Structure 1
Amino acid sequence: MLTHPAVRARTRGALALTAALTLGLLTACGGGDSGGDDDTPAKDTRAGKGGAYPVELSSAWGSTEVKKKPVRVATVSDGDTAIALALGLVPVISPDAEDGAKPAAHKQRALDKLGVKKLKTYDDTDGTAYEQIAAEAPDIILGVNTWEMDKDYDKLAPIAPVVTYTDKKQADTMTWEERLRTAAKALGMTAEAEQVVKADAKVTADAAAAHPEFKGKTYTYTVVHPEQISFMSYAEQDPGVFEQLGFTKTDKAKDYGPDKNGVSLENLDQLDADVLLVTYPFGDRGVLSPKELEGNKLFRSLKAVKGKHFVVVPSDNNLASAIAYPDALSASWVTEQLTPLLVKAVAGK
């Protein structure tokens, strides 16, 4: 089972950077600067209009006050960087989620729109680089997408107000819309956040209208990790675009959660659904290779597999990670990339 936050953090990072099997969508502690452009336009780093101050921020670790509209925004996870970029903000510093690889297509699209060649980042291999964050003198720190806040909060709070969740379990259960709105309230950008939500909802609604065959179909999303086969579409997991497209989780989803999502070989039937999606971010280094899983007798007996309603989600273009961990920047892109796979799976092709 994935029972420790650090294991889940490694899982999230591995999904995001599967081409190199690297780690780090979320942060832990220590690190160095991987550089960035010093000529980022100042206008891109400022929070937008709207909002009344001071704003009281409550969290699972205490409360703080944002006395005036933040100008300099730092982030401690790639999901938080996504929030900033989705709102049109360029963080003064953020973790290096790419680790030398090219940014995901949806992230690159946002950077291009903002006219930014490269973000200023710190190496988060060993965790959150507190000193480097402090050196950038941020007005606020976004941390609504991290599992490391238990050890980070006390070191980040003296630097600047920290925006994070009010209950520790929300690290796994908040939807990307809730994370975006939480951050936007502190940034004075509630209206901008609603525009992001509305725009993404339209893309998904258009796709759903074009594919009425999706409505009412159940789905399971599973990831083959080195430690286990993971039931990722558990009951409290953010469904991302699936439900807006018309899909629902199976009745088995209620039996799984962020700390209880391992599926044994004897229980592979738990994965069955109208549509089954599997990804192999570790290739042959997973607990089972693709050949071994897809050749397994019980797996082959699943209705989804027998009926060809089974599809492999590519893990080399960040789609696998974006499905597992939806964020404010990826929703429309996921709809664009995922819809053709779902069409194929529903049709049994």
Structure 2
Amino acid sequence: MNRPALPTRRRGAVRLLLTTATALALVTGCGGSGGSEATDAKGTKGTKSTGGFPVTLTSAWGTDRVEGEPLRVATVSDGDTSIALALGIVPVITPDVEDGDPVAPYKQRALDELDVDRLKTYDDSDGTDYEAIAAAEPDVILGMNTWDMDADYAKLKPIAPVVTFRDKKHADTLTWQERLKTAAKALGRSEQAEQVIAANREAIRDAAQDNPVLKDKTYTYTVVHPEQITFMSYAEQDPGVFEELGLRKTERAKNYTAAKNGVSLENLDQLEADVLLVTYPFGDEGLLSASELENNKLFRSLDAVRGGNFAVIPSENTLSSAIAYPDALSASWVVEELTPLLAKAARGK
């Protein structure tokens, strides 16, 4: 089934997010096999840094000082690679998160915009490969989207300045915008970061305006995990893109928390909402299959299901994981992919 076309206004905003930084890009010459454009003596193309140096960054593990404009950037997570690409930077080395699988659509689009065939990667199946990162000779190492900095920092710092969290709890609590801005400061790309954030804000605003059917509709978002059906849209859950597009949580959301979010088969009526969204990111390894849940008698009796106000968020194209872990590169693509699903479910049969 073909995905509904985006309104021209929103397509422009989505594309702007991926091209804003590219037009101002710092592209490292050793970042990939593409990039046939001529570069200057520093191996860069586009405009120079917009920030002042040196930059001193204090993290939970120590203090790092970036003396001058970084030209060679290494990353320790896919989210950090997204930050670099969103700012128009091709990392000299990144973890091989795809491991033979197709590149996520939003990342591939960014690579195409930057005229890069593929990224240089290291095998991260046993954790961060410090030797591979050292061999790439980075000027700075991005670690704004990692849970492994306790183990990594002491081994990364001798290689290059490490850009990471000010507080350990920020590994879970920082928004993608905050991560982007912290990294951009160290890279001298604060102006570009603000442009990326503004473009994403425009994409969301346009999507909401183009789909008034979403305004004030209640929603429940549930994920079928291996051990339970999880009520993901609990009261204190970051509302993220759902509520930015006009939806709001149900009254039942207050019954759930991050520590208490399981829904039993006997209580599937707890999922009731104007718009019901389910995803199966673990496939056959989930608690139950899509057909088992969607043929469940109680589930089928829900008004949202009977009225056609039910949608499955696909995991095959990485949409469900991008919703769970938004970053500087995926955020606008999520709006592009998710909005038609939400609007169709909000309209119902």
TM range (shorter): 0.7 to 0.9
Q: Which residue of 2 aligns with 1:14?
A: none
Instruction: Give the CA deviation at 1:103.
Output: 1.0
Contact 1:232 1:324 in 2 (8 A): no
Letter in 2 for 1:92: V
Which structure 2 residue ranges, 5 or more long, are not aligned? Answer: 1-29
1:19-48 CA distance string (max 9 Å, x none) = xxxxxxxxxxxxxxxx98456566458995
Name the CA shift for 1:73/1:292 in 2 (closer, same or farther; >3 Å).
same
Q: Which residue of 1 aligns with 2:74?
A: 74
Q: Which residue of 1 aligns with 2:247?
A: 247
1:60-109 CA distance string (max 9 Å, x none) = 22222222221111111111111110110000100112111221211111
1:255-300 CA distance string (max 9 Å, x none) = 322x654444344444333322111123222111112222334433
C-alpha separation in 2, matches of 1:180 and 1:120? 22
Letter in 1 for 2:248: T
C-alpha separation in 2, matches of 1:315 and 1:40? 31
Identity of aligned residues (%): 67
Q: Which residue of 1 aligns with 2:166?
A: 166
Letter in 2 for 1:102: P
Q: Which residue of 2 aligns with 1:328?
A: 328
C-alpha separation in 1, matches of 2:228 and 2:266? 13
Letter in 2 for 1:111: L
Contact 1:214 1:246 in 2 (8 A): yes
C-alpha separation in 2, matches of 1:221 and 1:337? 16
Name the CA shift for 1:233/1:303 in 2 (closer, same or farther; >3 Å).
same
Instruction: Give the CA deviation at 1:344.
Output: 1.1
Instruction: Give the CA deviation at 1:207.
Output: 1.1
SS at 1:79's partner residue?
A: helix
Instruction: Give the CA deviation at 1:162.
Output: 1.5
Name which of structure 1's ranges 319-328 and 58-67 shifts more when overlaid on structure 2. 58-67
Contact 1:46 1:89 in 2 (8 A): no
Q: Which residue of 1 aligns with 2:142?
A: 142
1:291-322 CA distance string (max 9 Å, x none) = 22223344334443343321101111111111
Moved over 6 A (4+): none
C-alpha separation in 1, matches of 2:46 and 2:155? 24
C-alpha separation in 2, matches of 1:278 and 1:76? 31
Instruction: Give the CA deviation at 1:124.
Output: 1.3
Name which of structure 1's ranges 93-102 and 246-255 shifts more when overlaid on structure 2. 246-255
C-alpha separation in 1, matches of 2:226 and 2:90? 35
TM-score by length of 1: 0.82
Name which of structure 1's ranges 231-240 and 322-331 shifts more when overlaid on structure 2. 231-240
- Structure with the greater alpha carbon radius of gyration: 2
C-alpha separation in 1, matches of 2:61 and 2:229? 33
Q: What's the C-alpha RMSD, in Å, of the aligned pairs?
A: 2.5
Q: Which residue of 1 aligns with 2:10?
A: none
Name which of structure 1's ranges 168-177 and 96-105 shifts more when overlaid on structure 2. 168-177
Contact 2:220 2:271 in 1 (8 A): yes
C-alpha separation in 2, matches of 1:47 and 1:158? 30
Contact 2:70 2:140 in 1 (8 A): yes
Contact 2:123 2:129 in 1 (8 A): yes
SS at 1:152's partner residue?
A: helix
C-alpha separation in 1, matches of 2:252 and 2:86? 34
Q: Which residue of 2 aligns with 1:256?
A: 257
Confirm whether residue 319 of structure 1 aligns to residue 319 of structure 2.
yes
Letter in 1 for 2:257: Y
Name the CA shift for 1:48/1:78 in 2 (closer, same or farther; >3 Å).
farther
The total of aligned residue pairs comes to 314
Name the CA shift for 1:211/1:317 in 2 (closer, same or farther; >3 Å).
same
Q: 1:287-306 residue pairs with structure 2 within 5 A?
A: 287-306=287-306
C-alpha separation in 2, matches of 1:92 and 1:308? 48
Name which of structure 1's ranges 93-102 and 47-56 shifts more when overlaid on structure 2. 47-56
Instruction: Give the CA deviation at 1:111.
Output: 0.3
SS at 2:273's partner residue?
A: coil
